Amino acid sequence: MRIANANIAPFYYISLRVIKSVAKKETPINFEKSLAELEALVEKMEQGNLSLEESLKSFERGIVLTKACQQALSEAEQKIQILLEKDGKPALQDYITDDDNNSE
């Protein structure tokens, strides 16, 4: 695509990048795949065989994966809270194990 006004070209391309990144964020992530990729990245980085550039790219990807996993966990927690509510009030209770009962 050719842009007639060269002064707005940089803004146009930046806007396209922003739109594409937002569109990517809207697609649901697969938590298990993201976590597995993150674990593989960490293992690869811990070996210490990456160049500085590769390390930075891996670190950046790791940050993206971490945020995506945190968001997925937060959303799952919200769904669980909604499912457990009764009459608009939280129906969550403390989890009591047999050990807790015996210690009292």
Domain boundary assignment for the chain: 29-103
Residue 7 DSSP SS3:
coil
Q: What are phi and psi of 36, to 5 degrees?
A: -65, -40
pLDDT tens figures, 81-92: 888 776 667 666
Q: What is the mean pLDDT of the chain?
A: 75
pLDDT, residue 25, reads 53
User: Per-residue pLDDT tens for 47-56?
Assistant: 999 999 999 9
Topology (CATH) of 29-103: Helix Hairpins (1.10.287)
3-class SS string, 24-91? HHHCCCCHHHHHHHHHHHHHHHHCCCCCHHHHHHHHHHHHHHHHHHHHHHHHHHHHHHHHHCECCECC
Cα–Cα distances in angstroms (integers) from residue 33 to residues 29, 36, 89, in the given order? 8, 5, 35
The answer, yes or no, to whether residue 104 has pLDDT greater than 70, is no
* pLDDT for residue 42: 93
